[in-house]
Amino acid sequence: MSRLVPAPDALVGSRFDVAVSKMLGISRAKAADLIESGQARVLDRAIAKSGTLLYGETVEFDIAEERHEPEPVCLDMAIVYEDDDVVVVDKPVGVAAHASAGWTGPTVLGSLLKRGVRITSYGAPGRQGIVSRLDVGTSGLMLVCKSELAYKEMRRQFSEHEVVKTYHAMVQGNLKEDKATIEAPIGRAKVSDFRFCVTPSGKPAVTHWDVLDRFGEATLVSVNLETGRTHQIRVHFSSIGHPLVGDPMYGANPVLAGELGLDRQWLHAMKLEFRHPRTHLWTSVESHYPADLAHALELMRARHASTGLEAAD
């Protein structure tokens, strides 16, 4: 049986075998077998299992039967703040904000509901309670609304940029300044429309950053966003010649990522500050680095220390 599936937004830019495994809810090894046997392919383009799924493409499957399994629950997604109005989770990498066509992995919304957390019915179907999102490949803090009052107020706060969102990112190279602002509009790239880029026709985007630590070949920064464009941090740092470590989609060195054990961009939503929708008290929630990013940071610090010692000898 042949089936055509548009590339899900959450999987654009993924390896093809990873995308197929998520779309069908099967192991990556089984997905690779389907690709190599020609049972999973992209229309009008030859693609290997290690190839990248692009925006707007259609995947064709020739499979005997479809698998219909319930959405998996992410049990290791920590709840770091919760009351009657809002819940803030520490989203692991590989978890989508909400369900979308072709996505069979865990979601923040689905995992909360299956764990018994009550979520408001306000919002689009399948996206209820969600007023801001994190990409599948980005970890960290994400707020979901439990009450109707919270949904209306937090949606307003996010849309008017009143919420303070602080990310930590490791970028390639040595940033010249200790702090700066990148203000450049972002839109879809014409030559590769699965990516985004700085373009005069894009939407306004403002990114503030401060250096936290320097390693010569990379710089650790704290980032605050005034706007929330898709891939904003990744695009803005790439546009100034300093792509995020582990982000080959936007020009990062894959060799460095491999040496640091990274298979995603070094980016984490570290802190969320907002005015509580009911009490109006200023509320601050903080996270910590997940294991993969902490390990990569430790290796980078060790590389830098080793380089310094060699230079001193």
Alpha-helical runs (H) found in 5-147: 16-24, 28-36, 108-114
Rounded-to-integer distance, Cα 130 and Cα 201, Å: 28
Q: What is the DSSP letter of 53?
A: P
Residue 135 bears catalytic tag:
yes
Alpha-helical runs (H) found in 7-121: 16-24, 28-36, 108-114
Torsion of CA 148, 92, 268, 97, to 10 degrees: -40
**Dihedral pair phi/psi, residue 4, rounded to 5°:** -105, 130
Query: Strand 179-183 to strand 164-172: parallel, antiparallel, or no bridges (unpaired)?
Result: unpaired
Contact by Cβ (8 Å): 121, 113: no
Token pair for 214:
């320097």
DSSP H or E stretch at residue 221: strand 218-225
Q: Burial level of 258, CB count in 10 A (0-12/13-18/19+)?
A: exposed
Q: Give the contacts of 69 (CB within 8 A, at least 6 positions apart).
A: 25, 104
End-to-end CA distance of the chain: 66
Q: If we measure between CA atoms, which residue out of 53, 41, 45 comes closest to residue 2? A: 41
Rounded-to-integer distance, Cα 59 and Cα 14, Å: 13
Neighbour tally for 41: CB within 10 Å: 19
Q: Which of 135, 193, 210, 213 is catalytic?
A: 135
Alpha-helical runs (H) found in 13-56: 16-24, 28-36
Q: Which residues are catalytic?
A: 135
